[in-house]
């Protein structure tokens, strides 16, 4: 089945990465703190239904994964560095699952936008990911086909809600703290 196609407008001077590593709240909360990242958008990618809703992808039948699109400046951060963070902040060894979140929408996947990203991601999976994780890596490596922005209430969720949501306290906050500890030299200055 051919997937619907969408295009990504990448602002001049920036590049884009599309990553799925479980709940998009976790990935967004980390990447928006990373030097060189200009914008992070939570959304859905890789499915066969155009313009899905959160409720639809939650059924696991639309084929979409929860993803973030990361717009970054390659003069400040490389795609390789984006992927090193990716391997560190989620478990790429569990198919269709991150912690208690189960279903294909929570799968680990990299949606590459060009051949160079594919080469870098393939190499990163073989070298960086396998140094971090002992179990086999099950992350999908897919050509980018589509991306649909998630509903407004998902954007900047952890920044807005934080530990007022028990899920954020138990799942998102520990990932953010781990990231801050491991990548403290890559953090944007806090206001």
Rounded to an integer, what distance in angstroms lies between the CA atom of residue 112 and that of residue 45? 11
Q: How many of the other CB atoms lie within 10 Å of CB of 100?
A: 9
Rounded to an integer, what distance in angstroms lies between the CA atom of residue 104 and that of residue 72? 27
* DSSP string computed for the chain: -PPP-----PPTT-EEEEEEES-HHHHHHHHTTBTTEEEEEEEEES-SSSS--HHHHTTT-S--EEEEEEEE-TTT--HHHHHHHHHHHS-TTSTTEETTEESGGG-EEEEESSHHHHHHHHHHIIIIIHHH-SSPP--EEEE---EEEPPGGGTTHHHHHGGGSHHIIIIIHHHHHHHHHHTGGGBPPP-
User: Any idea what DSSP says for residue 7?
Assistant: -
23 assigned to active site: yes
Q: Catalytic one among 3, 16, 19, 23?
A: 23
Annotated active-site positions, please?
A: 23
């Amino acid at each position: 089945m051919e997937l619907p196609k969408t295009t990504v407008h990448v602002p001049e001077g920036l590049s884009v990465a599309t990553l799925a590593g479980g709940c998009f709240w976790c990935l967004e909360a980390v990447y928006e703190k990373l030097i060189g990242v200009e914008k992070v958008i939570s959304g859905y990618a890789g499915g066969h239904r155009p313009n899905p809703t959160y409720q639809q992808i939650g059924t696991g039948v639309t084929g979409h994964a929860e993803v973030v699109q990361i717009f970054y400046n390659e003069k400040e951060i490389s795609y390789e560095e984006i992927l090193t963070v990716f391997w560190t902040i989620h478990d790429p060894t569990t198919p269709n699952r991150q912690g208690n979140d189960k279903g294909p929408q929570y799968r680990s996947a990299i949606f590459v936008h060009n051949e160079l990203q594919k080469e870098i991601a393939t190499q990163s999976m073989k070298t960086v990911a396998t140094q971090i994780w002992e179990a086999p890596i099950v992350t999908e490596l897919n050509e980018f086909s589509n991306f649909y922005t998630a509903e407004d209430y998902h954007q900047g969720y952890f920044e807005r809600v934080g530990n007022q949501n028990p899920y954020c306290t138990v799942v998102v906050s520990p990932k953010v703290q781990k990231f801050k500890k491991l990548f403290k030299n890559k953090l944007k200055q806090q206001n």
